[in-house]
Amino acid sequence: MIETRELSHTYQPGSPFESAAIRSISLTIPDGTFAAIIGATGSGKTTLIQHFNGLIKPTSGQVLIDGNDINGSHADKRAVRCSVGMVFQYPEHQLFEETVGKDIAFGPKNLGLSEAECNSRVREALSRVGLEYETFAARSPFELSGGQMRRVAVAGVLAMRPSTLILDEPTAGMDPRGRRELLDLLDALHHQGATIVLVSHSMEDVANRARHVFVLSKGALAMEGAPGDIFAQADSLRALGLDVPDIARLRDQLRSRGIDLPEDAYTHEPMRRALAALWNKRGRIGENGGAAT
Ligand SMILES: Nc1ncnc2c1ncn2[C@@H]1O[C@H](COP(=O)(O)OP(=O)(O)O)[C@@H](O)[C@H]1O
Ligand SMILES: [Mg+2]
């Protein structure tokens, strides 16, 4: 479980460039959940998540992993880095070894694991991201497609066997198919028991996958809740420079014309079911003021 208590971070304090990036954020991300963090550019998303594995230190406040203050004097930073895996924005830019296998083994090797153990972790990580060991391990990462490179970068983090995976805008710059595949991979990892924290500016990605959404605005936690509750507040989101998913907008437009749609019709499947149910009793809609026309 990741918890922050009144967490604040100011870059370059005391200088003319002083910038309060996050302000007094208190939140809890329970074990095993799929959480999303959304917010406009510059709202503090990257700064916030970099605290979750101790990459940067709070200016004030605390970060607790399973109840332990990770910046406390007795904290085991190494254990934290292993249990909370971080996939940076454009993680493929950090691939550097001559083969995919060596790149993925880099972290486990640094842990001092044996050659055999490193190898088995490479196999496991590649298979988890859907790449075949035989085809990919000996290849140069720089010969791969963009989507494959990103998978290799994710595999490098998975090779540390983290229980929590944090990803900063992992679908940025990907084509629709690559996005879907990567998000499906996150879903699969989540179902295998991993806690996922997804930073995204895509409302669609968040609506379809996350169970809990945190909305940042100007460094503060502005909203938090289940996606259905968050995406029911289109006006508040717009005021924060965000939008609702297309399907949520459609739901709100149809509702304003008197068509009865359930709260959860903000993703494709519930909307499809709701429309099919309305279609099946369309006679009755017609009688109730002609909404179906
Ligand atoms: N290394 C840095 N030095 C100074 N200011 C920074 C640095 N990184 C981010 N900031 C500032 O902190 C604020 C939050 O940035 P960031 O956490 O990157 O937001 P987001 O990820 O939501 O776009 C922005 O105003 C940004 O300009
Ligand atoms: Mg960012």
Map tokens 């009793």 to a residue: 281
- pLDDT attached to residue 288: 54
Which residue, by CA, sits nearest to atom 18 of ligand 1? 46
Q: Which residues surround ligand 2, an ion (CB under 5 A)?
A: 45-46
Answer yes or no: do 157 and 283 share one domain.
Answer: no
Answer yes or no: do 141 and 252 share one domain.
Answer: no
- pLDDT attached to residue 285: 54
Residue 116 lies in a domain: yes
Ligand 1 midpoint to CA 156 (Å):
26
Q: What is the mean pLDDT of residues 250-272?
A: 92
3-state class of 261 per DSSP?
Answer: coil
Q: How confident is the model at residue 292 (pLDDT cuts 50, 70, 90)?
A: very low
Specify the DSSP element, H or E, that contains 3: strand 2-11
pLDDT of 140 above 70: yes
Distances (CA, A) of 143 to 85, 98, 137, 194, 252: 25, 10, 12, 30, 46
Least confident of 7-11, 62-66, 83-87, 179-183: 179-183
Ligand 1 midpoint to CA 220 (Å):
13
Q: What is the pTM of this model?
A: 0.91
User: Both tokens of residue 30?
Assistant: 């329970």
Separation of alpha carbons 77 and 25, rounded Å: 22
Query: What ranges make up the beta strands (E) of 95-188?
Result: 164-168
pLDDT of 293 above 50: no
For residue 270, the enclosing domain spans: 245-288
Other beta carbons less than 10 A from residue 31's beta carbon: 12
User: What's the pLDDT tens digit per position in 88-139?
Assistant: 999 999 999 999 999 999 999 998 999 999 999 999 999 999 999 999 999 9
Query: What ranges make up the beta strands (E) of 133-194?
Result: 164-168
Residue 45 lies in a domain: yes
Q: What is the mean pLDDT of residues 66-94?
A: 92
Answer yes or no: do 225 and 186 share one domain.
Answer: yes
Task: Please give the tally of structural domains in the chain.
Answer: 2
Residue 293 lies in a domain: no
Answer yes or no: do 39 and 175 share one domain.
Answer: yes
Helices (H), 240-289: 246-256, 268-280, 282-287
